[in-house]
Structure formats: C-alpha cells, structure tokens
Chain A
C-alpha cells in the first residue's frame, strides 16, 4: 500500500531540444530538492526528466521494503527512455542521486557528462557499517533521518524524518561497487563539494575527483551544507550547471529554426516582419543553418576559439587635447535636433 505523494515531491518532465538531462534526487529525499536545477536546465532548452525514485516522496513506510536494485532500475529505465528521445544526455545527481549518476555512467559510456552535488561514492567506514548491522540484527527498522542538512535559514528539504536501515545498507554496498568502477568513467564531470557536509563525508568527493578518467571541474561550496541545491549556493549551482551542460552538449544537433524563433529574433533586432516575410526568412535561414550543421557536428573541443586574426591589444592614445568633429556638422546629419542635441521620441511610458 503506497501513501499519496507529498506536496512538492511530484516528478518533473520538460520537453525541450535534442539534449537531455536526467536529474536524480537523494536517499530519503524527493524531486523537491532538485526541482530548481531541473527547471533551470529546462529553461536552457534541454529535455529534462526528474523521476520520483521508488519508495520516496510519500511515507517512510514505502521506502522500507525498497533498496538499491529498485532505485537503480528506475533510474536506468528513465535514462533509457530519455536517451531514446535525445542525441546526448547529461546525468545530474545529488547525494545518492550522485551515486546513481556515476553508476549509470559506468554502465552507459555514451553519457555525455555528469553533474554531481555532494555525491556518495565512498561508503561509511567499517565501524559505522558494523554499528548499523548491529541495529538491524537487534530488530531496528528505522533510524533518525539525515534530510535537510542546509545552512540557509528558512530553507528545508522535504525529506523523510526517518531512515530505513536495511535500505541504507543496500546503498552502502552499491556505493562500494560504484567506487571500484570509477576509473571507467570517461565523460567530463562537474563536481560541487560542500566544505561542510554533515551527511556525506567529503572523502567521497576527493576520491571521485582523483579516480575518474575524464576531466573534472570542481567547485567548492563555502557556505552550503549537504543539500546545496536548496542552500546558499542554489543559484550558483544552477548557473554553472547550465553553462557546463551547454558547453558539453554544444555539439548536439540543434533543433531546426522555427517561425517562432524568427519572430523572436526579429524583435530582438528591432525589425518587424509581415507573415509572408516570416515564412520566407524561416525557410531561408533554416537552409543556411542546415548547411552549418557540418560545422556544428565537428569535435573541436580541443581548439581555442579565434575571435580575431590579430592578437588584439588595447590601444590608448596620449592624453593630448585635439580637435574633435564639428558639432554643427555632426548634428546636420541627424534626423531631428533640438537645442544642439539629438531629439528622440519618448522612451517607454514616460510622459512626452
């Protein structure tokens, strides 16, 4: 019997372009902790899936009978479904969501990149595990929860207040296996590590940064605790993730230009187009962009961009007075002049 989904714990999906993002929440948590990051990726144009993992987001009793095999199967199913719709996929995870992300990357080398926030990859030491085992042997089912480790006043994670011990044990065993496979992760990783974390020992981040085969961009969070996606660094995590993902998935073919894009771009460029012109420009610009697909598809990540054929330096002249353009000659070219100044219509809603 499953309890109803807690308010805010609903899964999240967003249709976007050919770039996919699978976003995974942590143990005893739910999509609430990752919704901001997921919507930021959707706003950047990506197709996003933020599933609710089995046993989570309802009542802790639903989590008790579940374990790693259930969560990982759900995460993999969500990945396969998303990958079928996308040309490249990034996996984003918090805490246990990070464990799942790395596990997926070890099994699916086609994953384009990982974004990990305080991921668990090194299980607690043997003493702690033995203590948990002794509690389980003594018949205990639940321990006090680990949710809502947040420094920011007023922010909270809608996690269970208790933690099923057997489920936690399955997570630790899986983390040990994931840790052993780290060397096979070749995709780029963006790793956020809170300096103060009361849930996952920072040794997990150190170990991951050291042992994965792909490039790691590491960001240390000075002010946030474990659930950094809801903490002081929420905006920074979202911003950097969007930039990182846009960079890594840049080579994915971009969705075709739409009429809507043309109307939008024309308004940015202060041009007004008739409906016929929108149709014509859409078709013509699409042809040009299709031709540019050859360039968009090249793997050039190793090359620095060239903005200018010369090494451009700032040129400053000596600070000597010299004649400037003649004011009346300049103003003579203006469409409208008043009191030796350019005259313009009112700006915005000001009174004339």
Chain B
C-alpha cells in the first residue's frame, strides 16, 4: 500500500476511489491478519460507508479532507460509537460505546477511513501486547517476536502494510516502543495537544494519543489532523494548531542535539551503536551534536511504576459490573463487584491495581506516591536544565530489538524495563518520537528516540525527517 499522502492526493484528485482503497486494505487484513492478529474488530461495513461518503464528496466537488480515503487503524481503547471497544479486556467484552472519541470524529472529518480496532495490552498495561485477553499480536518483521506494546496492534497494522496510519496511546512508551520494535514511526505528542475525550483512561496525568505511520511525513500528516483544542477534555491545551508536515523537509541544520548517554547506556550494544550512528548522521546533516548528561532519568522508571498504577487503581474502580461491561452475579453488591473484577481483569491489570492501591494506602502514601511525585519534579527540572543548552535530546527508544513471544511475560520487572528510555517524556508531559534507524544484530528494526520540550513537535519532525533521510537501508545490520 502506498503512503498516506499519496493515497489522499490520489483520492482527492479523483484518480482512485476511497472505496477501492478501503476494499484493498480490507482484503490485505483478511489475507494477512490471521498470522499477525493486529485487529480485534474489523469495521468492514462502517469503513466502506465512510469511503463512499468520501467518494461522494469528491464527486460533488466538496473538500474530502487532508486524509481523504486513507485507512487508519484505531487502538481498541478509543471509543467508537456502536463498535465494540474492549481495551483488550474481558471486562469490556461486547461493550459498544454510545459516543465517539474526539480523535475518531476528527479523523472522519479529515476524510480518513477507520478500518478497525487494534489489539493492545489490557488497559494499555504492558510492553508486548501479550497481556491482551484476546491473544497476542505477532511482529510482522518477525512472527516469533512481540510487536511491543501496549499499542502493538496499531504498530503491527502499519508495519504489515494493512493501513498506512494508526492511532495509539502512550502512557509510558506505548506508542514509541512498539513503533521501534515494528520499524515504523511513532509520536507521543505533548500532553494536552490531542484530546483524551473518548480515550479509556489508564493514568490520566500521563496518557496521550498519538500517531503511527510508515514514514515521517505521514506521521506529521496524521498528528496535524488530530491535534486540536477540545472543550470536552479539561486538560486540552488551548490554541493547538500544529503544522508539522512542513517541518519534515526543513532539515536539521543548526539544530542543537543533546546526545544523552543516560538514554543509551542501559541498551543492548547493537541498539546503542545505532543511536551513535544516528548522532553522526545528524552531524552530517548540519545539526550541532553534543553530549548531555541527565542522570535524573534513572529515577523515572521507579517513579512511573508508582504514579501510573496509583492513577490506574483509581481509574479502574469504575469497572464494577453496574453500568457497562461484564457482570458476574452474586448475592450482594460488594460480592458482585469482587466477582466481576476478579473474573474480568487479567493478571497484569490486577498487579497494577494492587500496586497502586498499596502506594496510595495509609502509611505508604508518603514513602511511595508523594515521593514519586517529587521525582517527577526532579525529572522536569532536569529536562529544563538540558533544554537550556539543547533544542532536542537523542537516545534509544527501547533497550533491545523485538524480543521473543513469551520471553518476559512472567517477569513483570523485566517487562517494565522496556520503558526506561520512554518514561521521562511522559512524566514531564513532553513530546517524543521514535523513528526507525537501521537494524540490530538480529536484523530486526532499531528505533531512535528524539525528545523535545512541550509543543516542540515541529523540531521533532525536522530531526526525524533528517534521520529518515540519513538512515541505513532497511535490513542493514550493525
């Protein structure tokens, strides 16, 4: 399938019909998703109806939107009216939301075609998509490997060529890490730049929706389409109108890049050497690259795995068997709540709910939760210090290439370590982007991470565009 820009241009020009594009995408999913399992729900009829609406607009001379006819994969924690939305959990099995997420409305308005709902770690808790109640997704670059997580389904859908675009959510790295492992581009935008209305909450002060794409320009195109102020999200930033698409070809000349060993040294040698090569490629492209130490990042992981579970334990209290989703009947309400939650949640979700409940409980609140919030301040201040001298920071996205299915699923701490490089940006609310840059020793993709201050997505796309242009050919081993 061609890129999103080419597709939209062809549909807008009347050279291709949105229906044909959609039918081809549906056919690709039907042929290939049996082994990948990127999708939990394929929205065949709805997608074709939307495609027909786009074609009608083109036929009537109306503007069909910048994403006219482009298929998009939606992570299954984005509410879609009348379409099952499970969050990868038994507890929401069969639930059909009575409303659309703001991003779903924006995509429709932009002419995009929502192709289906993608697999994910249950309630976005995980780094491999193995925590889905509906079975794992396989990495299209190596079917015995995980696609990363928690947005593994959307990353895999783009990597497999089912759709040129996907949306995911990133609470501690859930867009960037699967993007890196699947060899696609993934952006975690500035907190508040994309509306969270209709995103099923995991950790509200960290969650942010963002794009997946096969190339940097397409990621910018999708980000520009979904980033907007939304009065229905009280944490939505006012006056957000990004125009990052034009930044992609602007080059990295004179951009001050801080190469951050604290985001590299814990990584596998083949991943680390790709990041250093990326720094050289940016130097060659005219960027000013220097090393910058941010040792405070080391504390991010522990702080995150106290703050995110604490917020989750509160957010997930709503699954009580009363208003929606699963109910396991029992004699009284409390027993019904317990039976429902015990049957409906998987092991990782229970683990995090308990961790969060514990961190918030009397006697431990100060030692764990309040202390983690102070670490959050420490990380924010460390970023501020680094950005006094640099425009962006450069590091690895994930410590390794895609690991084998089953390798870490029984060892939560080993799984959590996947997020060590991505967490700082979530704690600070900053944007960060993963762009493919060559392969590891195993031939699997390596992602390089670019970090920027709040609302500096334009800089991220400039640097990402330069890295994409200077990246080794796919499949080249380090």
Contact = CB atoms under 8 A, between A and B. Distances in A.
A305 B98 contact: no
Interface in A300-325: 300, 303-310, 312, 314-315, 317, 325
Given A285-B355, A298-B371, 15 more contacts: A45-B363, A246-B365, A266-B354, A269-B341, A272-B342, A289-B368, A292-B306, A304-B377, A305-B374, A312-B235, A329-B98, A335-B327, A336-B327, A342-B323, A345-B329
A285 B368 contact: no
B185 to A, nearest CB: 23
A138 interface: no
A257 B367 CA distance: 13
A266 B324 CA distance: 22
Interface in A33-88: 44-45
Nearest to A46: B363
Contacts of A336: 327
A177 B368 CA distance: 40
A12 interface: no
Interface string B330-371: 111111111101100100001101110110011111111011
B374 A303 contact: yes
A325 B98 contact: yes
A288 B413 CA distance: 6
A288 B304 CA distance: 11
Contacts of B363: 17, 44-45, 246
A271 B321 CA distance: 13
Nearest to A307: B373
Quick one: which of A262, A289, A309 has the most chain B CB within 10 A? Answer: A309
B403 interface: no
A272 B354 CA distance: 11
B376 interface: yes
Contacts of B97: 333
B161 interface: no
Contacts of A289: 355, 358, 368
B73 interface: no
Contacts of A45: 363
A221 B322 CA distance: 48
Closest 9 CB pairs of A and B: A309-B429, A305-B373, A335-B327, A250-B366, A300-B374, A306-B376, A315-B234, A295-B302, A329-B98
B351 A271 contact: no
Contacts of B413: 284, 287-288, 291
A227 to B, nearest CB: 28
A86 to B, nearest CB: 15
B134 interface: no
Quick one: which of A44, A250, A326 has the most chain B CB within 10 A? Answer: A250
A268 interface: yes
A342 B322 contact: yes
Interface string A251-295: 110100100011001101111110000000100110111011011
A144 interface: no
Quick one: which of A254, A325, A330, A333 has the most chain B CB within 10 A? Answer: A333
Contacts of B192: 309-310
Nearest to B337: A270
Interface string B83-121: 000000000000111110000000000000000000000
B345 A271 contact: yes
B299 to A, nearest CB: 5
B444 interface: no
5 contacts: A271-B338, A285-B351, A309-B430, A346-B332, A348-B334
Contact of A285 (B205, B320, B354): B354
Nearest to B204: A308
Given A292-B302, A310-B429, A325-B98, A300 B364 contact: no
B325 A335 contact: yes
B135 interface: no
A291 B305 contact: yes
A344 B322 contact: yes
B353 A271 contact: yes
Contact of A333 (B95, B301, B362): B95
A298 B295 CA distance: 13
A306 B368 contact: no
B244 interface: no
Quick one: which of A250, A269, A296, A307 has the most chain B CB within 10 A? Answer: A269
A347 interface: yes
Contact of B354 (A262, A292, A309): A262
A291 B324 contact: no
Quick one: which of B306, B339, B381 has the most chain A CB within 10 A? Answer: B306
B139 interface: no
Given A254-B367, A270-B337, A310-B237, A345 B332 contact: yes
B324 A298 contact: no
Given A309-B191, A345-B333, A250 B371 contact: yes
A288 to B, nearest CB: 6
Contact of A270 (B98, B341, B362, B429): B341
A189 to B, nearest CB: 19
